[in-house]
Structure 1
Amino acid sequence: MSADPSVILHSDRPAAALAVLKETHPDLTVHACDSYAALPELIGRVAAEVVYSVRFDGTPRFPRQALVESPTVKWVSVGGSGTDHLGCWDPERLTVTNAAGVAAGMLAEYALGAMLSFSLDLRGFERRRQARQWGGGRVEPIEGKTVLIIGLGKTGTAVAGRARAMGMRTLGIRARPKAMDSLDEVHGPDALPTLLGRADFIVCCVPLLPSTRGLLGAAAFAAMKRSAVLIDISRGGVVDEAALLAALDGKQIKGAALDVFATEPLPGDHPVWSHENVAVTPHCAAVYDGWDIKSVRMFADNLKRYRGGAPLENVVSPERGY
């Protein structure tokens, strides 16, 4: 690391980010890049040492090789929390950090909103409104219901806090189980099959890793209550979409709220569009006004540490994904 590194801001809206770095690091030359295609050439031309990067044009086209195999890049600061789009990297040569927590509250509110939407049957009432039908439907409290949170990072912890405030029973799964505030029970991954059968709502917020790909498949859906609702705010690929569709078709579960998919944008002919008991959102649960500035300010703070030779915060392990 150096006190005067060559820095690239890789974002589809770099102007606001540049303003933050001009304010916090006025002596530093920062290069902006607003496309995937231009990043490899720019890294080579300016011998970039540090790259702040946002995945803004999908994963398949992301120029991961230019970042993880560059001979000059020593630190990649991911603007969001997920790092699966970088694939594998050598932590001895490259440090990767993320902005974990920047959207934890918003994601938790999305999960809570989805739980309330299903318990209040808002989708059913909307269908009746469109049909100008008075009556029918019923509401249920979420107080006293059980939520299982798979993944207890900053997002999962925020979900637990909001669920506890609503009077829900909170169960959680994490790789290294330990007692946590707002969690009634914390278990390891081996307890998943048993816990699924106890939950009224399942909130999935784990990173996409070889160990989590297809984590919720046919066996998982078979273990759920028929009244259960799945809320997926993790990454596309954690939920086996074919198994989910089969569970919906077979009425094995009540419904789902999905913000992430294996293929994004979601194709217009995808079967999930036809399910009335599924809420589909376009990977936007973490996107709110100001999230990008908050993320860049986290990067700016970390950049001060980097330039001063101090340890970085939010360093990601390629094996754990967090």
Structure 2
Amino acid sequence: MTAGPAVILHTNAPAVAMKLLRDKHPGLSVYPCDSYAGLAALIEETKAEIVYSVRFDGTARFPRSALLESPTVKWVSVGGSGTDHLGPWNPEKVTVTNATGVAADMMAEYALGAMLSFSLGLRNFARHQRARTWITGAVEPIQGKTLLLLGLGRTGQALARRAKALGLTTLGVRAHPRPTADVDEVHGIEALPGLWGRADFITCCVPLLEATRGLIGAAAFAAMKPSAVLIDVSRGGVVDEAALLSALDGGRIKGAALDVFSTEPLPADHPLWRYENVIVTPHCSSVYEGWEEKALDMFADNLSRYRRGEKLLGVVDPMRGY
């Protein structure tokens, strides 16, 4: 195996990444970059052919052009699963891979935790605890409820396994319907109008594409049960936030757990902060101790394939988003 091409590790924790990659690929020319602003100059200086990149400082400022317009960059390895911050790109010019599945189990646990929080009324109990008031309370089981999974990739399938273990009925929607383990019914996206009203919990884990932008909008909220809970771990833009606010104000859904937003960080004056029945988290459902080491392991293995001239794993189709 030759010394190989120049590689940039574009992450806010480059020291960890550098050590791991040098252990697995000794002698390789590896350069750290821990800012958005410095990436273009470093690519030009090093003539980098490969960039491992994590979207660590939001989408709006992400240096997309530095990666996709560079004459030297041939492969961008995304440290997470989402690639909407890069799209569109020309797959004839640059190959984009992702670390699909690196956070599937964690995101499934996040979604399950949100479901249990609402069914147990934990936020309401916490509010009374802070006020030191003893109330007559009751909890509600999720066993026997129906979960609608928008997206049956690694995350959707991981959540389906957990949901079936807890006795839920699972309905799934995917671009190309086919029987899927732990999913009772699998439908195409065109079936959604008839599915919204059947669900007690709706979990969104689809990529952001033109076909999914605004997928959960006014018509969807109007068709949901008033007791339905929305959980969004996808990308900001899949849920129409104006329609969500209208549904919350009108009491058309029970509540929502939101980990992604159209603008991130969520502005301090955004109305979503004020709802007692909305859980707001800072795009962290995929962040857990050891996630980047796992993603870097996947990159290092793929880099071995690249250096041997073999087909890369996890190549993303820019039209499908996965």
User: TM (normalized to structure 2)?
Assistant: 0.98
Could you tell me how far 1:245 is from its partner in structure 2? 0.5
- Whole-Å Cα distance in 2 between the matches of residues 3 and 214 of structure 1? 47
Q: Percent identity?
A: 69
Alignment-derived partner of residue 30 in structure 2: 30
Which residue identity is paired with 1:105? D
Alignment-derived partner of residue 85 in structure 1: 85
Alignment-derived partner of residue 145 in structure 2: 145
SS state at 2:85 partner: helix
Task: Mark the runs of 5 or more structure 1 residues left unpaired by the alignment.
Answer: none
- Whole-Å Cα distance in 2 between the matches of residues 281 and 218 of structure 1? 23
What is the RMSD computed on CA atoms of the aligned residues? 0.9
Q: Determine if contact 1:124/1:137 at 8 Å carries over to the other structure.
A: no
Could you tell me how far 1:93 is from its partner in structure 2? 1.2
SS state at 2:163 partner: helix
- Whole-Å Cα distance in 2 between the matches of residues 311 and 137 of structure 1? 57
Could you tell me how far 1:132 is from its partner in structure 2? 1.6
- CA deviations on 1:263-309 (whole Å, 9 max, x unpaired) are 11111111111100000000011100000111011000000000001
Which residue identity is paired with 2:52? Y
Q: Structure 1 residues 96, 68: closer, same or farther in 2, change over 3 A?
A: same
Alignment-derived partner of residue 209 in structure 1: 209
- Whole-Å Cα distance in 1 between the matches of residues 146 and 133 of structure 2? 32
Alignment-derived partner of residue 159 in structure 1: 159
Alignment-derived partner of residue 72 in structure 2: 72
Q: Determine if contact 1:147/1:199 at 8 Å carries over to the other structure.
A: yes
- Whole-Å Cα distance in 1 between the matches of residues 174 and 242 of structure 2? 25
Task: Mark the runs of 5 or more structure 2 residues left unpaired by the alignment.
Answer: none
Could you tell me how far 1:3 is from its partner in structure 2? 6.5
Which residue identity is paired with 1:232? D
- Whole-Å Cα distance in 2 between the matches of residues 179 and 321 of structure 1? 21
- Whole-Å Cα distance in 2 between the matches of residues 92 and 273 of structure 1? 43
Q: Determine if contact 2:205/2:234 at 8 Å carries over to the other structure.
A: yes
Alignment-derived partner of residue 309 in structure 2: 309
Could you tell me how far 1:59 is from its partner in structure 2? 0.6
- CA deviations on 1:178-201 (whole Å, 9 max, x unpaired) are 001110010000011111110000
User: TM (normalized to structure 1)?
Assistant: 0.98
SS state at 2:8 partner: strand
Please give the residue correspondences for 1:102-141 in structure 2 after superposition, counting only pairs within 5 Å: 102-141=102-141
Q: Determine if contact 1:3/1:306 at 8 Å carries over to the other structure.
A: no
Q: Determine if contact 1:7/1:29 at 8 Å carries over to the other structure.
A: yes
